[in-house]
A = this chain, B = another copy of it.
Amino acid sequence: MLHFGKIAIIGAGNVAYTLCKVLKNKGITPFCVFVRNELSAEKMRQKLKVDVVSDYEKVLKSDFLIIAVNDDSIPEVATHLVDYKGLVVHTSGTKSSRLLNSVERYGVFYPLQTISKEREISFDEIPLLIHANSDEDLAKLRAFAEILSSKVFECDDEQRKTIHLAAVFISNFTNVMLGIGDKLLKDNGLSLEIMHPLMKEMIEKSFEISPENALTGPARRGDMATVRAHENMLENYPKEQEIYRILTNYILEKYQKNEKL
């Protein structure tokens, strides 16, 4: 047993499941996993070979507890932990660490990644954002996180919230752009796969020379003839046309082109 002691996990969603798997891959078997729903509990038991429980008795005997449930369920979970003596953390990108302040020792362990059960991912390269209400527990949390990833960052609630908001633009909304591209291509008998090299190069270039310097395309060079042609092509896609207009205007304004849509 490592010096942070017996680890319990609460939850059966993407994060709880993946975290449990990643820990087992590192040779650390959780002390127990709390899952309320019996069907989910049985699945987790079979797939991950861990001790899955549905009452808090064993959970309260752990030394380190990771709450990986929906943001909105964290307060309810906290009500069961008033007597907990270990260190408890949640995994939310947006919720305050103080949601857990009915427990003496609390903090946050937030993996900055898009996590789906079906995807086999390693935590090695995932930024882990940690926070604790005492220096001692912060050191313990860091030691734990560093077993899983080489990218561990201490950050407070406000910084984490900003990072989560930025992640919505960078991950979720970028996904929406891919989805719109996919739809336009499919409707014309074409496949998204053709876009893979373009997407990869744009990302690499943006991270290397900054998104601002990496931008190309009609709006960037103020090519209004192409912009108008695109708008016309989107006539049967009113929502996508609106998104096209707003983002094109955003680029035009940013790069101080005078002509507006």
Contacts and interface: CB of A to CB of B under 8 A. Distances in A.
B166 A212 contact: no
A114 to B, nearest CB: 5
Given A198-B114, A250-B176, A165 B230 contact: yes
A186 to B, nearest CB: 10
A126 B196 CA distance: 9
Contact of A175 (B166, B179, B214, B239): B214
A250 B225 CA distance: 27
A199 to B, nearest CB: 6
A173 B177 contact: yes
Q: How large is the interface on A (under 10, 10 to 19, 20 to 34, 35 or more residues)?
A: 35 or more
A196 B214 CA distance: 15
A179 B166 CA distance: 10
B251 A247 contact: no
A57 to B, nearest CB: 30
Interface stretch (A40-48, A76-84, A187-195): A187-195
A146 interface: no
A172 interface: yes
A134 interface: no
A177 B185 contact: no
Interface string A222-261: 0101100110011000011011101100110110000000
A2 interface: no
Interface stretch (A31-39, A137-145, A203-211): A203-211
B220 A172 contact: yes
A115 interface: yes
Given A172-B215, A173-B247, A188 B167 contact: no
Interface string A105-124: 00000001111101101000
A62 to B, nearest CB: 28
12 contacts: A119-B201, A163-B190, A165-B230, A166-B180, A169-B240, A169-B244, A170-B181, A172-B220, A172-B251, A173-B243, A199-B203, A242-B246
A206 B178 CA distance: 8
A72 B226 CA distance: 10
